[in-house]
Amino acid sequence: MSDKKYQITIGIETHVQLKTKTKLFSEVDNDARGKEPNSCVSPVDYALPGMLPRLNEDAVKLAIRAGSAMNAKINSRSRFDRKHYFYPDSPKGYQITQFFSPIIGEGSITLPSGKKIRIEHAHLEGDAGKLSHFDSYSLVDLNRVDTPLLEIVSMPDISSAEEARDYCKELWRNMVYAGVTNGDLYNGNMRFDVNISLKKPEDKALGTRAEIKNLNSFRSVERAVEYEYSRQSKLLDNGEKVIQETRGWSDATGKTTSQRSKENAQDYRYMPEPDLAPLNLSEDFIKTEYEKCPELPEDYRKRFKNSVSSDTIEIILDYPELARRLAEVEENNSNEDTVNYIANLFSSVLLAEENSSLLNDPLPDALKLSELAEMKAKNELSSTSAKEVFLKMFEEKHLGKSARILAKELNLIQENDSSALEKIVETVLLNPSTKKAQEDYRSGQEKVLGFLVGQVMKESKGKANPSAVSEILKKKLK
């Protein structure tokens, strides 16, 4: 997107699946992962005659907490509406949503770059089902019908594919940290609809927008925006018009394809939902739920600003449990070097591909991690040994053990006693096999010192502190 002939304007609608136990309007299980198709559905979800929806209070509470995570205003009065459309995955023939009076008003999300993306509003609604298409037929699974969603609508403040990716990622982080959603992108816990339009910089009016539906990864968002910029710019270069439409995205082809013309509000024939009373929330109710929002990514950035590099923090922030554990390390240890050391172990050792399977609950507690850092700082453990102990601490069979106990069991604690080390060094220097190396070192060939250090390490069965050994050898070989 280095070509700046056209200015891109992006707004994103994000569907966040709230992690309630039951659905938005019925007492059916809200978690259909691994369940048989059409097994988590009730007569209420079908809107059979005589079945009335009942609003899930927990969904309202989570919506307020989400509003807090977006620095948003919570509207004390909101109401539900019917959005009519006829698709096979919507058995009611309408969706219960909040079109006219949403529960959440204006807010914002701050990107790691510092740029603020404004939130226009966010509203509660029930999800539709899922269609699976095959060569000659389609199947419908209604397990997802009336799963509680919070649809978050951004203002068109995003101006690049990178910003679109960063906005979606930061919004995902905020919702997960706030405890609003499980955040499982693979299973559709958050889905992004990206609206994209192009115009010449001198034009005042925005261009015609296309909406890319149901993106479920940050990389897909970035790639879809890049492709759509290229597609629309070619149309404009050729004097053609961009059609307002809904488009799908294929990760396999890296392209968007037309799905249907984009509906306008009047096409849905909105009307007030007659079976649900308006939602009136007291100030105390809103305040109680609003203040339940825990520390968010931006809070952690500020907390670790002086102790951990920004690159390392951005890696850790993708794993809320690690960020929280690092905060506990800091609270139990004021030494910034300790916090930085554990942060680097998290980012470069634990999250390495071959070790990622160790990232499960429960994690080693903060005191045990701090003890490991202190042992490394005192040279009781070498860098390699400290990493070995660190990874062992995450194995289920070792979770209750301290770093020191594990290091002793693994025979990894270094020998730092100078008198003991001197005896080992003397033994090595008396060995005829090291005489030539000693002579070479004294003649100025300093690189042979490594060989001698290795011999001492071998004699000590790996327990000697190599730095201390090196200093003793230098004194002895003067």
Residue 355 has pLDDT above 90, yes or no: no
Average pLDDT over residues 102-113: 97
pLDDT, position 126: 96
Q: What is the mean pLDDT of the chain?
A: 92
Exposure pattern of 374-386 as b/e (b: 16+ CB <10 Å)? bbbeeebbbeebb
Q: Beta partners for 96?
A: 82
pLDDT of residue 448: 83
Residue 362, preceding bond cis, omega within 30 degrees? yes
CA–CA distance, 276 with 466 (Å, rounded to integer): 73
Model confidence at 88, in pLDDT bands (50, 70, 90)? confident
DSSP state of 193: E
- pLDDT tens for 290-345 read 999 999 999 999 999 999 999 999 999 999 999 999 999 999 877 899 999 999 99
Show Cβ contacts of residue 374 under 8 Å, excluding neighbours closer than 6 positions. Answer: 338
- What domains can you pick out in the chain, each with its CATH number? 7-288 (no CATH), 297-409 (no CATH), 418-476 (1.10.10.410)
396 phi and psi angles, rounded to 5 deg: -55, -40
**Would you state the pLDDT for residue 382?**
84
Q: Is the pLDDT of residue 222 over 70?
A: yes
| Cα 131 from chain centre | 27
Give yes or no for a contact between 108 and 116, defined as CB atoms under 8 angstroms apart: yes
33 close to 216: Cβ distance less than 8 angstroms = no
Say what the pLDDT of residue 263 is: 60
The token duo for 157 is 């403040």
Is pLDDT of 415 > 70?
no
pLDDT of residue 217: 96
- Confidence (pLDDT) at 91: 87
Distance CA 111, CA 453 (A): 50
pLDDT tens track for 4-54: 789 999 999 999 999 999 999 999 999 988 899 999 999 999 889 999 999
Contact between residue 75 and residue 279 where contact means Cβ atoms under 8 Å apart = no
For residue 200, name the pLDDT band (cuts at 50, 70, 90).
Answer: very high
The pairs formed by 29-33 with CB atoms below 8 angstroms and a separation of 24 or more are 30/147, 30/148, 32/143, 32/144, 32/147, 33/184, 33/187
241 or 478: which leads in pLDDT: 241
The two tokens of residue 382 are 């070498």
pLDDT at residue 24, as a whole number: 97
User: Other C-beta atoms within 10 Å of 340: how many?
Assistant: 18
Q: Torsion-angle region of residue 264: left (phi > 0), alpha (psi -120 to 50) or beta?
A: beta
Residue 27: how many other CB atoms lie within 10 Å:
12
Higher pLDDT, 309 or 267: 309
CB 141 within 8 A of CB 159: no
pLDDT value, residue 334: 74
Measured over the CA atoms of residue 329, residue 334, residue 338 and residue 343, the dihedral's sign is positive
Q: Which two tokens mark 276?
A: 């649900």
Largest Cα separation within the chain, whole Å, is 99
| Both tokens assigned to 217 | 């990864």
Band the pLDDT of 265: cuts 50, 70, 90. Answer: low
* 261 has a pLDDT exceeding 80: no
* Residue 170 confidence (pLDDT) above 70: yes
Do the Cβ atoms of 374 and 342 come closer than 8 Å? no
Query: With bands split at pLDDT 50, 70 and 90, how would you rate the model's confidence at 392?
Result: very high
Q: Is the model's pLDDT at 124 over the cut of 60?
A: yes
* Average pLDDT of the residues in 104-127: 97
pLDDT digits (tens, 9 = 90+) for 89-105: 888 999 999 999 999 99
Please give the pLDDT value at position 214: 92
Lookup: tokens for 465: 């502190």
Q: Decide: helix, strand or coil at residue 459.
A: helix
Picking from 434, 432, 478, the residue whose alpha carbon sits closest to that of residue 457 is 434
Give residue 156's pLDDT.
96
